[in-house]
Amino acid sequence: MSFVNTKSTKADEVLDKALQGERLSLEEGTILYQSDDLIKLGAAAKKIMQKHAPDNLGTFVINRNINYTNICDTYCRFCAFYRTAKDADSYVLSDEVIFDKIQETIDLGGTEILMQGGTNPNLPFSYYTDILKKIKARFDITMHSFSSAEILKMVEVSGLPLDEVIRQLREAGLDSLPGGGAEILDDRTRMRISKLKESWTKWMEVHDVAQRQGMNTTATMVIGFGESIEERLLHFIRVREQQDKTGRFTAFISWVYQPDNTALKGTRATAVEYLKNLAISRLMVDNVRNFQSSWVTMGHKIGQLAMEFGCNDMGSTMIEENVVSAAGAHNRSDKEQLIRLIRDAGRIPAQRDTQYNILEIF
């Protein structure tokens, strides 16, 4: 199907180019953002999705976010979760509490633990390797854990080089890295919202080192910080270029900044803005197979609609999550509800593991 006709617009020509399998430039991505035809953008993104995932499955994983500590010295202005060590409600979870949460996850059919916390300067590197070894000795569970910021904090407190830190984490039981902390992969907005966070090149370096050691990782993106269209497009292009090098990003996940209880404040991006950005990301990042819907930040209905804008995955049941909920996102789903949402969106529900292997079709 071609979108080009005698009355074609510049956006039609760009969409037709994407559908022909050609790669889009920053300038062509800008033309797509200038288009007001959301339906046409979504239709093209869905067609690209179907090239990667033609089976009409809507996948999901059963996992749990364990936020093992809220002590953090990065002080991101957009975060409502972090505390300093002096705050009365700061914490580091005991091993026993972490084990109980993992057992509960397994009892609910879970296969993945996303362990993620603040950049706690008081935890030695041995804390991370020890807890991974203890978890792996007790449970058959995939550890998809630690953001690039946490990894770089481990580099700082240990004095070890990055590749050695990742090697030791892998040996201790770390299976893959989430894309947390990517926010916007360009330093102008990045430094405005979080002066102490690593540059976008350091975020990418962590993923590059992990991927070159054989680990898969995911790529994330958060919009709504007041970033420019060019910065969003650079984000897509930088993920795409890294994927060309290693092919080890298993998924691309974008969501919308949640402003409640944050120092940055501001307003939420609209559902239209989210869906438009999602569709364009699917068209620009042409070499990542899986795109996740962000029903956690956008709600169930927009989460379902995202399946028409390029997503083939509904993410996770997210048994527990404390970071975006602290900033105002309180959507929750259990397994049965996710299956129903996927089926009502016209897809065949399927539970997957972290590496997108299908475990069960419903």
Which pLDDT tens digit goes with each residue over 273-310?
A: 999 999 999 999 999 999 999 988 889 999 999 999 99
- Rounded distance, CA 263 to CA 9, Å? 42
**What is the rounded average pLDDT of the residues 339-350?**
96
139 has pLDDT over 90: yes
pLDDT in tens, 83-110: 988 999 999 999 999 999 999 999 999 9
Feature table: binding site for (3R)-3-methyl-D-ornithine: 147, 248, 294, 316
What separation in angstroms does the CA of 234 have from each of 177, 178, 184, 261, 265?
A: 22, 20, 9, 29, 25
- To the nearest whole number, what is the mean pLDDT of the chain? 93
In a domain, 313, yes or no: yes
319 has pLDDT over 80: no
Feature table: binding site: 72, 76, 78-79, 147, 183, 248, 294, 316
Percent of the chain with pLDDT over 90: 81
In a domain, 21, yes or no: no
In a domain, 150, yes or no: yes
pLDDT in tens, 203-216: 999 999 999 999 99
Taking every pair of C-alpha atoms in the chain, what is the biggest distance, in angstroms?
A: 67
pLDDT in tens, 50-77: 999 999 999 999 999 999 999 998 887 8
> Domain tally for the chain?
1
CB 48 within 8 A of CB 16: no
Feature table: binding site for [4Fe-4S] cluster: 72, 76, 79
pTM value is 0.93
What separation in angstroms does the CA of 352 have from each of 114, 312, 314, 333, 339?
A: 15, 12, 11, 16, 12
In a domain, 310, yes or no: yes
CATH number at residue 73: 3.20.20.70
Feature table: binding site for S-adenosyl-L-methionine: 78, 183
In a domain, 6, yes or no: no
In a domain, 335, yes or no: yes
In a domain, 15, yes or no: no
Which domain range does residue 353 map to?
36-361
In a domain, 252, yes or no: yes
